[in-house]
Structure formats: C-alpha cells, structure tokens
Structure 1
C-alpha cells in the first residue's frame, strides 16, 4: 500500500468504500479518445491496481504509479477531470493518483485548442463541456476499463476554466453578454486579456451548452467566468474552492460569485495564503525554476502540504457522494 493510501484509507473506510480498493496502488495509462469534431484527444487514466508502483516524472512534477498495470476491482466510480486554460491532462496528477488509490477510475483530458501547446481555441468555452461529456461517453463505452466502471456513479473535477467546465456540465448556464461589461471594468484581469488576445468564436453568444445528467457530484476549484453563470439549476453535491490571494481570478467575481448564487450551500473551502496556481499539482525543483509563474507560491505557503489536505478532502467528498452509494 502506498503512503498516500495509508493517509487516506481511514477517511475512506469511515465513509463506506469497499475495503479491497484500499489495498490498491494507482495504475496509469494514456489513451487517444476519438473526437468527431477534431483530432483525437489525449486522456490520462488512473485506476486501482494490485501491481507494485514506482515513481515517474509527469508534467510539472512526479507521481507514483504502476504504468500499464492490470485494473483491480469492479463497479468502480468514475471521476472525469478538466484542466485550466493552457493546462494538460496531468495538471492534477496527484489528486488523480489519490482517488485511484482508494478505488476510483479517473480520466483527465487535454482540451483541444486550450492547452499548453495550443491556444487556438482558448476562449471557445462551449467546446470544453462538450469534450467533458464526450469523455464520459468514451470511458463508459470504449475505454479499456469500461466494464469495470459503474455508470451510475460519475463525478467531475475542474480547476479554473475547468472549474467553469464542470459547473456548466452540472447544469450552470453561462451568459456571455456579461463578459463585455466585466472586461470594460477590469481590462487587466487575466481572462479579459486572454479574450482580447484570443477573441471568442463569432457565434459564441449562440453556443449550445452541454449539460450531462450522468454527473452526480462536482468539485470546482477557482472557477473561471463565475460572474457569468446562472447556477440556479446546480443542485447536485458541490465542493467549491477559492484561493485567498488569487491574482488570476480575483475575488469576488469568480468562486464567490458562484457561491452566493447557488440554490443550496456547497462544501466550501477558502485556502488561506494560496494563489491561483496552488491548486495545480506540486512542481519538482526543475520546474520551480523553469515554470516559476505557475510553480511559485507565496512565502510561507507550502503547496505540497496543502495538497495533502486538498487531496484528502476531494477524496472524502467524492467518496461520500459517489463511492458510498455502491450497492
């Protein structure tokens, strides 16, 4: 059993997750998901396994996984992940690993045109929930581990633009007419600069927003475009996170705007002294220098320590709202 499993096992046991999954490490594989509207989408998949795990470099940091190992378990809950603007499927690898170690299948995609290599669709907001729903389709009908997934227990995790994505998938309705006035008032905000550099599609105001009723619980961290969202129909269990010192999506226009409009109170967490990018997986020493913009934290803030707590709370939330429902 991994160290992370030892840390998280007591919480999972208390919430009723089947004990065999607690002995598992995290397996890991990368696949290409077909997309009828574009090129194949890269997807990282984490899942429980009984095979021994080993450290490997991934993205900004590292993970401890059994690459390509056999899956252990059946009727497993699924969590799909949506990264932020300019991110990649590995942006939240530590959280994915933590979930897999206690019995979840986790699938994280690299959004087409909004990733660290390609910003050509960076403000095509409607493409994101479409691809997230496509990912659920793929995991339930075509993925290598499809037979082991329980289609009635699907959750979604998202950060920043991904936080917006999962809220829309859960029933939120964006009003993009609010973006213009917001950006006139706050032209120096990150999202407004992004839309100036990458104008939204000409038909953005007529976009069709995909809501996916298969999603039963959502974790949204620092959601982008929060001020634009009508969340009156978001009634499923929701864990909402805000960084106290978020300079990318400053308060009160994003997470707070969502929180104050929800029809029922979410499981809300304000992270003292945290910045926007502290929700990303902890970086290794090399990337703390080469990618300092997203890897640096404020003096006195320990990103690795925060993620031990963050991952445990995300695991606990999804366990309570998905895994504990196993017949």
Structure 2
C-alpha cells in the first residue's frame, strides 16, 4: 500500500495536517424506526473532555460542533455483543484523517442485548448498515458536511461477516450448518459462541451432540442472503466469520476489499475463515495486515479490561502480541486504505 502522502494532492495534505490535532466529536443520532441509536464520531471545533462510557473513558467533544473534514463517511459494524468504545483508537485516527464514522447498534447482538447472535443477526446487519447511512444523511448537523456517493464500511468478527456481505458475498444459514456439521470439533467456538467449550472430558460428546441438535434445526434456510448498497465504495473485513459464504461470490469483490487477519485467533480460526477468503479473492482484494502473534481480540482497541473465563481466553492478547507496536500501524494502514479508495 503506498503511503497516504503519495495519494493526496497538496490541499489534501494541508487538510489532514490541520485535522490531526483537532477534536473528536461524539454524539448519538436516532436510527430508523425499530433500530437502536447510531453512534457518530466526527471532526469537531469544540473542546474535548473525559466522557465515561461503561468501563471506558474517552477524550471527546460530547455533542460538539461538527466541522467539515474530508466529506466522507465510514460505517463500522461491531462484533457480537460489541460496543463502539472498543474501536475508538481506530476511529480517532479516522476522524483525524477527516472522516465521519457512524456505528449502528446491531439488534439483539450488542453490549446491551446479546440475546440473538449468529446467523439471525447476520441476516439483519447489512440492512442495518444501510439504515445507519440513511440516519446520518438525515442528521441536520452532519449531512451538509458529507457526500454519500462513496461510503466506507469496516467490520470485525460478526461485523467482518457483514463487511463481506456488503462486498458482494452471498451466504446462507444452511451453509453455516453444513460447515459446523463438518468441522464442529475443529471450529467449535465459531459454531457455538460462548455458550460452552470442549474440555477434553467425556462430557464433550454431549456438548457436540447438543450443538448439532440445535444447529441442524435452527439453520435450515438454504436461500442465499445478499445485500447491495451502491453508496458503499470500499470495505474492510477484520478476522471475519466467513465459513458460510459461497467463495465464488467473493472471488471478484464488487468494491475494493481489504482484509485483516490474526494467526493466533482461537475464536475464528484462520484456516476455516480468513484464509479461504484470501485464497479466493487475491489479488483482487488486499491483505491490509496480518498479525502473526495476534488473537481475535487484538483488533479491539482499547481492549475491554479484566476479561476472564472463556471470553478472556478468546479475546485477551496472546502473550507474544505487542499491542503497543502493532495497533498504531494497523490503524494507520486501515485508514490509508479508506483514504486511497474514498477520497478524490
């Protein structure tokens, strides 16, 4: 990937230099009827202050006055049970580069309500992304500062599944069931989430039987799911769930597609997920970054503190992962990808 300064004219460099030390605004705007709020981050002329959100404290201008950046929007799709706050380091870099960033709250699969993750959520998420674009376009403060003909989209984990859908991929719940029937033991957490895990004990055969019993009965729909939004012009998928996709539909992505992989991912094991996508789409997609020592949660920044039990094992950084060295460069490359494909 060429460096950003090779891609922008002089006026663009001046704009980014001016924004680099600006404030990040933060507000929530109403979603469509039936949707949760859309959290929006944007360049602001207001003063920042500490803003407390759950276990996180952000430096942001809450309800601050928006100012025009580069005129482009990026929508972020969070992972299962996710929240905006675990993406704020990446988002801050995007805002510094002039982008407005919007994040929908995916129904029944967010930090407030995690009651229905998996294929049921995956079927709804792409349309929720489109409605988040609509919500931003209705906002009286932000809409005049943006053009909506070229929108970026970023997602990780379940949000990475959303990203692949919006890049032109087709999948089905029945394909999810077939994958789990074939690879249940080797990809157990991808198939069952956090409900249980294999321990090597004799109870494992009961856990596997129970998982397949539920999966075979719930996920029978073989109709392909797809969603197209002509406004989306560049997509990044990080550590995505992808084993239920028809890989032929990702061989030639409909828009520029970047991928981020983590070789120590124990939740969405690369050989079942990101590796087949890359094998199908390269060189027509781009490997933005591979994290040889990174795990599933290594793209989250800041990482939720104090994670224990199974979720801690799946999300906490592997011992060899150097977060301080890897994440700033990863975030820079991700922002540069969007700048290359969305800016004039």
TM-score (norm 2): 0.81
Moved more, 239-248 or 131-140: 131-140
Render the CA deviation track for 1:225-255: whole Å, top value 9, x for unaligned. Answer: 2452331341421110110101001121111
Would you say the 8 A contact 2:265–2:294 is kept in 1?
yes
Q: CA deviation at 1:66?
A: 1.6
Within 5 A, what are the aligned runs for 1:210-221? 210-221=227-238
- Is 1:251 matched up with 2:248? no
- Post-superposition offset of 1:169: 1.4
- Residue 15 of structure 1 deviates from its aligned partner by 2.9
- 1:179 equivalent in alignment to 2:179: no
**Aligned positions of 1:208-287 closer than 5 A:** 208-229=225-246, 230-262=249-281, 264-268=283-287, 269-283=289-303, 286-287=305-306
Does structure 1 residue 133 correspond to structure 2 residue 126? no
Shift of 1:209: 2.7
CA distance in 1, matches of 2:75, 2:104: 8
Matched, 1:15 2:25: no
Cross-structure match for 2:320: 300
Q: How far apart in 2 are the matches of 1:207 and 1:265?
A: 23
Cα gap change, 1:282/1:294 in structure 2, threshold over 3 Å: closer, same or farther?
farther
Q: d(CA) in 1 for partners of 2:117 and 2:67? A: 37
The 2-side partners of 1:135 and 1:260 are apart by: 31
Q: Deviations over 1:126-182 (max 9, x none)?
A: 101111111112222346411111112200000011011011112111143322232
Q: Residue 191 of structure 2 aligns with which residue?
A: 192
Distance 1:65 1:151 in 2: 25
Normalising by structure 1, what TM-score? Answer: 0.85
User: Which structure has the highest strand share of the two?
Assistant: 1
TM-aligned CA deviation for residue 32 of structure 1: 2.7
More displaced stretch, 188-197 vs 221-230: 188-197
Measured after TM superposition, the shift of residue 316 of structure 1 is 0.8
- Work out which of the residue numbers 205, 215, 224 in structure 1 matches 2:222: 205
Q: Which residue of structure 1 aligns with residue 117 of structure 2? A: 122
> Per the alignment, in what secondary structure is the counterpart of residue 247 of structure 1?
coil
* CA shift in 2, pair 1:289/1:248, >3 Å: closer
Give the Cα separation in 1 of the matches to 2:176 and 2:144: 42
Bigger Cα Rg: 2
Mind listing any 5+ residue stretches in structure 1 that lack a counterpart? 1-10
- The answer to whether the 8 A contact 1:224-1:254 is kept is yes
Deviation at 1:201, TM superposition (A): 6.1
Q: 1:27-46 counterparts in 2 under 5 A? A: 27-35=25-33, 38=34, 40-46=35-41
Q: Secondary structure at the match of 2:127?
A: helix
Q: How many residues align?
A: 310
Equivalent pair of 1:78/1:155 in contact (CA under 8 Å): yes
Match of 2:23 among 14, 25, 30: 25
Partner residue, 1:77: 72
* Residue aligning to 2:58: 63
CA contact (8 A) 1:88 1:111 kept: no
Q: Give the direction of change, closer, same or farther, for the CA distance of 1:160–1:111 in structure 2 (3 Å limit).
A: same
